Structures are given as structure tokens and as C-alpha cells.
Chain A
Amino acid sequence: MDAIAIFAVVLDSAIRLSVPLLCAAMAGLWSERAGVVDIGLEGKMLVAAFAAAVIAAQSGSAWAGLGAGILASVMLSLVHGFAAITWRGNQIVSGVAINMLAAGLTVILGNAWFGQGGRTPTLEGAARFGEITLPFAQTLREQVPGFGLIYDEVISGQSAPAYLALLAVVLTALVLKRTRFGLRLRAVGENPAAVDTAGISVAGLRYSAVIICGVLCGLGGTYLAVSQSAGFLPHMTAGKGFIALAAVIFANWRPWPALWACLLFGGLDAVAIRLQGVALPGIGQVPVQAIQALPYLMTVILLAGFIGRSTPPKAAGLPYVKER
């Protein structure tokens, strides 16, 4: 394979690995910009993956699976909202609880229903999201050297949830920056008292943010189980929710940089898979674990202010108490 073909293959797998990160990062971004810290992204994705796999297997429709995944994830979001917004509980504690609930429930229910150690039945045909070939993929590949190959391998041939995830980034950026709802939502994460004074419901805005967060986690989880894999495996999110959280921090809570951070982290993962057992000239064999550790390490270094400065929303994590 020549260099450009290798590049196309690695880029393709980077994008595939970034899609769940991207969904969860956008989810976290919505929630945190509204002032609700969410470390339960992982749990919501896991529950969504499970619900999506179960319903897709039963109904034979991947889209029904997506619906179920989103529904399950939104339910957990509402639990988080109920604790964090209505009862002004500790948002970190609630997030930990949601992660544990999700990790336990999915295995128990999966085991009780299907008896395969927590796996769900293998999805086939329409029960799984297939690859969508964009127009002219073949023609461009044959006629335009370089770009044509990238277009066919990377841009075309992804599944519907992957394109939806990209759409989610565009929408998130647009809505947060350009609409009244987005402005109010950002305001509620910076200074809820001001929003309250203006006569707008703080709880209402925060609940809508938390629900959007649930929908996006649902999309990410569904992608994992119904598109990337052909069914649910116990603990299949494997820390992706936390890497997404890292991406949000890395991107300073902004949508477009979050896209690049997710692509970077997904790319690192793809490179780690590619470099497994390969000796690089001059460096020798790079331990895969070193590459896998990079997203976490980079986030810690960034948070410590050694590169750049992270400025989270001012009211993130703080319950809003109306003055009487």
C-alpha cells in the first residue's frame, strides 16, 4: 500500500473511533454549558447501546434501535436532572451513581433476557446500520488521484449515525452561538441568577440541556452497538464517555474544537491499533499503552495549565438556589 492509501485507512478508522466520542462530547458540552456537570456520559452511552441492541434485535430495525437507545439515555438524563436540578444534589455523585447503575443493569438484564453472559443477539441486515455510499464515490476514486481515494474511503461509506453525529456538531455550534435559546442556555451556565432575573426559568433551560445531552449520548451508544459492532457487549463503552469528557475540557467547552479533539483522540486510538507490534525506524517499538494513555495525560497537563488555560462555564456544578 502506498502512503496515501495507508493514510486513508487510518483516517477512516480514526473517524469510526471518533463518532461515539463526538456524540458524547457534544452531549457533555450541552449539559456543562448549561451548568450541569455530567460525568455520567459513559453510563448513558452504555444504557443506550444496550437498549438499541435489544430493540434492534427484536424489531429487526436499526432505526427502532436508535429510538430505543435515545429513549433509554434520556431517561437516565432525567434522573440526573431530577437529582441535580430539582433536588440540587451533588452532580458528581449523581454521575457516579448513573455510571454504576448502567454498568450493573445492562449486564443483569442482558444476562437474564438472553443468557449469553450479558451479550445481546448478533444483529444482521436491516437491524444494523449499513454503510452509506455517497454519490460519485466510485467515479472520484477512479478519476481523481489522492482526494478521490480519501473521498471514497473516509468521507463516503460511513453509517447513518456517523453522519448524524457530524450534523450534531454543526447544529450544536449554530444553536449555541446563533440562537436565542443558545444564548440563554450559555447564560444559565455562567450566571443563572441573571437569567432568573430576566424571568426565564433556570430549571427549564437546564432540563432542556440535560435532555439534549441524553439524546446525543443515545446516538453515541447506538452507534457503538448497532453500527460499529453487531450487538451489545458488557462494558462496551470502555471509558469512551470519559475520553469525551476529556475532549470537552480540551476544547474549552466549544463545539468545533471539541470535534478536532475527538478526531485527535480517535486518531490516537487508530494509530495505536495500527502500530501494535510494529517497530518504527529510529524509535523502535512504541508501547500501545503509551499512545492509549495520551488523551488522559494531555487532559491532565492541560487542566494543570501547563499548556493553554481551561475556562469552564462559571456556574458548572453549582445548583441554583433562588433567592427569597
Chain B
Amino acid sequence: MSAAPIELPRWADTALVPLVSVAAALAVSGLVVIGIGESPLEATALLLRGALGSAEGIGFTLYYTTNFIFTGLAVAVAFHAGLFNIGGEGQATIAGIFAALACLWLAPLPGLLLVPLAILAAAAGGALYGFIPGWLQATRGSHVVITTIMFNFLAATLTVYLLVEVIGKPGSMQPETPEFAAHAVLTPMHKLLAPLGITLPSTPLNSAFLLALAALVAVWALIFRSRLGYAIRTVGANPRAAAYAGISPARITMVAMAISGALAGGLAVNEVMGVQHRLLLDFTAGYGFVGIAVALMGRGHPVGVALAALLFGVLYQGGAELSFDKPSITRDMVVVIGGVIILFAGALDGLFRRAVAALLRPGRAA
């Protein structure tokens, strides 16, 4: 991101600026709610009750959060290398194809072997589809932003082709694969925790959530505690200095894009293997783009990503409940909020930094 010349204390930079921009984004979204003739306060109350007011609501919230953790981390890792990966949707789509093929073709294997293999297949598919744009940028100079946009569309058309012509369920009008075998899917959380004496209502929340938590820790360790992470951050901060230090920016570009793609593949693990149990068209449903908002809000740090993903999980689940009570406020409200957050926390970062600086040092505003 562009370095703003405004100096701020670290706590203000990492916590206050994102908070202020998110608050402003929510305020703008409140104006939209007023604009369509509803009360934002009532809407907020309904939304919070829907997302956090019951065990079932929390289950759904955490299920959505899982998706946002994966896509948010994917964007964040690329950010650290100074790359903008808009291709989360496409990478997750390819990961979904890989996972579905593994689940269908390796079905004779026992579950204990099949599920990890399918997860690895998803990660490999995402990594491959992230690696190619990285490789093209590193060796051929084509910009990763444009390539990943084009790759999103290519992945979508490939899925349509595969589902309609090749691996679609025979005799089905729906473009979808046959359902996976019962041992080829992830365990729902309410079944996973039942032996421990914890009874939960049945929700789409599944063991992919634990995988997402592990991914948060792994990304933290990778970025801030490993040699490779140091190299990634160095290339992101200054590729030329990195080259002088003996780090190859080309290699890091490819590696970072591959890791980013593998993380985006987590979305496919949660959706395809955890919830749908088959490959559907458009299962990525825009989660990849919201991941950009999550990464920007979370300042690229796993803790921030986790909090931002939780916020979007609440918005998604609460938004779904809200649209039952208030049909005029559809799920698309979350897309608007995501857009405003990307605008405020990302593109207008400078504006908010200046506002916060003025707030902290009244009188001598920068």
C-alpha cells in the first residue's frame, strides 16, 4: 500500500485507524439503510441477535467466519510480498475442482487417508492457480492484478465446462457433481464435539473451522517468525533492497502467490468438502473479494484478519436473519459494507490517517 507520510504511534496505526475507518464504513451503510426506509438501529439489533443470539446463530456465524479467514489470509500473505492477489475466487474454484476430483476418484480409500489427501489436493489446486500468475509476473512481467482477474473468469468458465460436459451428475439438470461418499467429507462440529459431552445444534460449521484457526497460527509463524516470512516482507517493503540482500524477488513472488492460492483453497475445503459435499457452480459466492476487505481491515496481521473475518461472519449470518424480518435489506448489504470498508480502510487510508492524527494531536494537525 502507498506509504502515507503521516507519522502515528504504533497502537493508533494498527488499531485506531482501522477501527475509525470501519466505524465510518458502518455509518455509511447505516445511511443506505435509512435511504431504503428502515431504521439502522433496529436493523443492527436484529442483525446482532441473528448472528450471536443463539447457539445456532453462532454456529452459522463461525461457518462464514471460516471462509473469510481463509480468503483474508490469502490476500494478506500476498500483501506482505507487495502483491495484490484479486484471484482468490479463481484459486478457490480450482481448489474446489481438485478437491472434488480427489473425493470422487479416491473414494475407495478409507476416510482417514482420503480427507487429508483431498484437503492437500485443494491446497495444491489453489497453489498452482496462484503460482501461475506469480510466475508470469516474475518471469514475463505481466502484472499479477490483471492476470488474476482474467484467471477468475477462466476458472469460472472451466468449472461450467467440467460440470456440464465432464464430471457433472448424470441425468441432473443442475450443473453439479454427484454427492461425495459419506467418509469423504469433513465432520460437522456438532458431531465432532458430541463425544465430549457438548451438544450443539446442527449447523454447517465443520472441522474446516479448526483448519482455519491452524492456518491463522501458521501464517503468523510464517510471516513473522520464519526466514521465508522475513524474505517475503523484505520483498514487499523494497524489492531492490531485497535483491541486494540476496533474496530473489522473482522467487518470493512465485512462492508468495502459491501460498496465497493455497490459503484461498481453504474456502473450497470448507464449502465443497465441509458443507455442500459436492462441487457446485459459483460456490465461491464473492467470498474471495470480501477477503480483500478482511485483509485490509486486519492490516495483514493474522489477529486482525481473525477479528475482521469474525465481523464479516456476523454480518453475513446476521444479514441472512435480518433479510427474513426486513425483506428490503438483502444479503447484498454485506457486499456494500465490504465495498465501503475496502474504500475507507484501503484506498482512502491516507484520509483516515490524517483524521486520526488530527484527533490525537489537536491544534497541530498534520
Contact = CB atoms under 8 A, between A and B. Distances in A.
B299 to A, nearest CB: 13
B151 A300 contact: yes
Interface stretch (B65-73, B95-103, B156-164, B300-308): B156-164
Nearest to B328: A112
Interface stretch (A145-153, A159-167, A238-246): A238-246
B296 interface: yes
A94 B153 contact: no
Interface string B27-39: 0000010011100
A213 interface: no
Contact of A100 (B2, B164, B165, B339): B339
B84 A92 contact: yes
A: contact size bracket: 35 or more
A153 B147 CA distance: 37
Contacts of B37: 112
Interface string A102-127: 11110111011101000000000000
Contacts of B52: none
A105 B31 CA distance: 12
Contacts, number: 158
B: contact size bracket: 35 or more
B347 A83 contact: yes
B312 interface: no
B239 to A, nearest CB: 15
A39 interface: yes
Interface string B318-349: 00000000011110111111111011001111
B346 A108 contact: no
A305 interface: yes
Interface in B19-75: 32, 35-37
Contacts of A101: 336, 339-340, 343
A289 to B, nearest CB: 4
Contacts of B348: 82-83, 87, 89, 94
Contacts of B161: 287, 289-290
Contact of B347 (A93, A111, A293, A306): A93
A292 B157 contact: yes
Task: Kindly name the residue among B37, B149, B150, B158 whose own CB sees the greatest number of chain A CB atoms within 10 A.
Answer: B150
Contacts of A100: 289, 293, 335-336, 338-339, 342
A247 to B, nearest CB: 12
B142 interface: yes
B193 interface: no
Interface string A279-321: 0000000010110110011011001111000100000000100
Given A102-B339, A287-B165, A296-B150, 4 more contacts: A104-B339, A289-B157, A293-B154, A293-B157
What are the nearest 8 A-B pairs in CB distance? A100-B339, A104-B335, A303-B142, A104-B336, A94-B347, A89-B347, A101-B339, A93-B346
